[in-house]
Structure 1
Amino acid sequence: MNIQRRSMIKLGAGLCVGAAIGRPAWAQSYPSRPVTLVVPFAPGGNTDIVGRTIATALAKVLGQSVVVDNRGGAGGSIGASQVARSDPDGYTLLLCGAGVIVTVPQMVKTSYSRDSFTPLGLVNKSSMVLLVRGNDERFKTLKDFAEYARAEPRRVNAAHSGPGTPNHLALLQTESALKAQFTVLSYKGANPALISLLGGQIDAMFDQVPSCLPHIKSGALKALAVLGPERDPIIPDVPTIAELGFGNVDGTTYVGILGPSGMPKALQDQLANLIAQAVKDPQAIKSATELGSVAYSSTPQEFTEVLNAEYAVAAQAAKDGRLKVD
């Protein structure tokens, strides 16, 4: 081997070592330990079920275990605050809907804002519906419901599952669309509201399909309209509110994964790709369908657009004095 060739080999080896040294430590080994997925709600709800399903699928593509950490309370802000102050190294992530990030901070003082997070990708979506009892003869159609509600302010007792939730925003949007005023009742979750509706204590409620699907299938409850841009494939016979002539109301509920702000761009891209892969896992798709929702992946930009859209709705409601804590 001549001197020139030996020199070239040494130079090449030196460049490789230099490139490796120059790469951030996380890029060489991420993930080298378990990842924590914070779900800012109690176990057993829709968000928790989605979180546990996607955690299992994400563990497969990461090659590391993903631990679900339920940190419920204060509309999701307790868990969100934990993630916002975590290191942006990809080992602590947040799974939640847009409301936790952009609506709750407009209602109560939080230690975070939407700029405290890095959106990585959506993982699930579900339709919002306006529900009444199946045997309530007053409300055979949405037109019946609208006319009844318009006849007298606050005549209809309408419920949602908590301040700042997508259900709450859907209710406020529907009030405007129907040109009506409801007596608005806030519950601590969908199940208590469903019990009241089934028992006749309230007239209507706004809920995601996964929570109420068994009652729709049994006929105990009737969905008057889908509050979104398109019909839901799980309940294809239920028209959208726009189809029925009452304008555009979008209560579609999206769930996604975020990290703390300050994440390196390369790590963001890596995680976004891995999350998109996890959403395509056959078991994740099957679990979402059984739940009554859709396994739905997106780019970080699309997730950001979802956050911005919900922020605009919540900000207007807050400005109008309609977005209030109980």
Structure 2
Amino acid sequence: MKHIVKQVLTSLLLGLAAAGGAQADSYPDQPIRMIVPFPPGGGTDTVSRVIANELSKQNGWTVVPDNKAGSGGSVGLSLAAKARPDGYSIVMAQNANMVINPILGKGNYDPVADFAPVALVASAPQVMVVRKDSPIASVADLMAQAKAHPGKVRLATPGVGTSSHLAGELFQQRAGIKLLHVPYKGTGQALPELLGGRVDVYIASVPSAMAHIQEGTLRPLAVFAKKRSSDLAQVPTLEELGVKDAEAVTWWGVAAPAGTPAAVVELLNTRINALLQQPAVQAQLKAAGADALGGSAQEFAALVKSDVPKWTSVVKAAGLSVAP
């Protein structure tokens, strides 16, 4: 009897494996939905549409962006985590919604267990800016003022738990200073306050601050990256200025639900990497303020895994509530 049961189980497993292989061989034979976890018009939407449009155009596929906004990107990531793992639902994830939101209890998904990372697409560093006539002329000035008047220098961010906020907390922890955090409901509220002199310094992604920097109304002090931004080549990194291990970038990457066949993940990875090597695609991403990246699915998975303890530590040290 045991021998018969073993034969039946073996046959079932072989059948499932064959079915998975057949699926991978014919993939895709229907439209692929790319979940975009933010409204149309923002940076994530732009990056998503570049990748979706080029995948469709260059491979003869149909990749359809599907905006599912809400809870700082958690709604879209949650939908992706629960989608059928067949490669026909993928998501354009960010470190803020994929990694940081679950740490803060804003996402009902596990950034490691619930997703199959496909490919890292692009990144943009955070930048520290002041208004053009600010008496703060450098990061050294900022640190000196903060040490002389702890908790008095006002740091604006687009909101509690955002990438910009946590970049600010990381900076304070690495620099050994204390600033007064002033959170707003998005960049649209924060920037007028900075320009009006009601706060002293602001941290934002390079794309969201670039127009004001180019106009000369904001002055950049430093970028939160390992190397200088190609868009702000004259602006030093915090590392150059002596603030070590303070890298804070916004990254975008395509992910699928956990359990998506490895062959499908590999095919998507190969096609996305091919796009990212093309100057025309790089230029489209650059226009959105992002630098094209790429790499293996394994490298993307390793990045997600390393980001979880890094930002958990920053959140705890900042005294923010951490999800159990």
TM-score greater than 0.5 by the shorter chain? yes
**Match for residue 43 of structure 1?**
40
Structure 2 unpaired stretches of 5+: 1-14
Q: CA deviation at 1:116?
A: 0.4
**Match for residue 147 of structure 1?**
144
Q: CA deviation at 1:233?
A: 1.5
Confirm or deny that 1:111 pairs with 2:108.
yes
Contact kept in structure 2, 1:191 and 1:211, CA below 8 Å: no
> Stretches of 4+ moved more than 4 A in 1?
20-23
Q: In structure 2, do the counterparts of structure 1 residues 109 and 44 end up closer, same or farther at CA, with 3 Å as the change threshold?
A: closer
Q: Residue type matched to 1:240 in 2?
A: T
Secondary structure of residue in 1 paired with 2:256: strand
Contact kept in structure 2, 1:129 and 1:208, CA below 8 Å: yes
Q: CA deviation at 1:189?
A: 2.6
Q: In structure 2, do the counterparts of structure 1 residues 320 and 142 end up closer, same or farther at CA, with 3 Å as the change threshold?
A: closer
Secondary structure of residue in 2 paired with 1:154: coil
Contact kept in structure 2, 1:163 and 1:323, CA below 8 Å: no
CA distance in structure 2 between the aligned counterparts of 1:258 and 1:22, rounded to whole angstroms: 23
Q: CA deviation at 1:267?
A: 1.3
**Match for residue 295 of structure 1?**
292
Q: In structure 2, do the counterparts of structure 1 residues 166 and 149 end up closer, same or farther at CA, with 3 Å as the change threshold?
A: same
CA distance in structure 2 between the aligned counterparts of 1:22 and 1:260, rounded to whole angstroms: 18
Q: Between the two proteins, what is the percent identity of the paired residues?
A: 34
Confirm or deny that 1:91 pairs with 2:113.
no
Q: Residue type matched to 1:168 in 2?
A: H
Number of residues of Structure 1 aligned to a counterpart in Structure 2 = 306
Confirm or deny that 1:311 pairs with 2:308.
yes
Structure 1 stretch displaced more, 58-67 or 247-256 = 58-67
CA distance in structure 2 between the aligned counterparts of 1:220 and 1:109, rounded to whole angstroms: 34
Q: CA deviation at 1:324?
A: 4.7
CA distance in structure 1 between the aligned counterparts of 2:238 and 2:318, rounded to whole angstroms: 25
Corresponding residue to 2:133 among 132, 135, 153: 135
Give a deviation string over 1:164-187, Cα, whole Å, max 9, x none: 332122111111122111221223
Give TM-score, length-normalised by structure 2: 0.88
Q: CA deviation at 1:30?
A: 1.1
CA distance in structure 1 between the aligned counterparts of 2:184 and 2:120, rounded to whole angstroms: 26
Q: Residue type matched to 1:294 in 2?
A: D
Secondary structure of residue in 1 paired with 2:230: coil
CA distance in structure 2 between the aligned counterparts of 1:129 and 1:323, rounded to whole angstroms: 22
CA distance in structure 2 between the aligned counterparts of 1:189 and 1:298, rounded to whole angstroms: 31
**Match for residue 101 of structure 1?**
98
Q: Residue type matched to 2:126 in 1?
A: M
Structure 1 stretch displaced more, 182-191 or 240-249 = 182-191
Q: Residue type matched to 1:121 in 2?
A: A
Q: Residue type matched to 1:210 in 2?
A: P
Secondary structure of residue in 2 paired with 1:24: helix
1:15-54 superposed matches below 5 A: 24-54=21-51
Give a deviation string over 1:129-165, Cα, whole Å, max 9, x none: 11111111x2111111111112122211112223333
Give TM-score, length-normalised by structure 1: 0.88
**Match for residue 10 of structure 1?**
none
Give a deviation string over 1:182-207, Cα, whole Å, max 9, x none: 22122333232222212222111111
Contact kept in structure 1, 2:24 and 2:261, CA below 8 Å: no
Contact kept in structure 2, 1:61 and 1:274, CA below 8 Å: no
Structure 1 unpaired stretches of 5+: 1-17
**Match for residue 223 of structure 1?**
220
Q: RMSD of the alignment, in Å?
A: 2.0
**Match for residue 60 of structure 1?**
57
CA distance in structure 2 between the aligned counterparts of 1:182 and 1:47, rounded to whole angstroms: 29
The structure having more radius of gyration, on CA atoms, is 1
Q: In structure 2, do the counterparts of structure 1 residues 264 and 108 end up closer, same or farther at CA, with 3 Å as the change threshold?
A: same
CA distance in structure 2 between the aligned counterparts of 1:183 and 1:158, rounded to whole angstroms: 6
CA distance in structure 1 between the aligned counterparts of 2:319 and 2:40, rounded to whole angstroms: 30
Q: In structure 2, do the counterparts of structure 1 residues 211 and 110 end up closer, same or farther at CA, with 3 Å as the change threshold?
A: closer
Q: CA deviation at 1:286?
A: 1.1
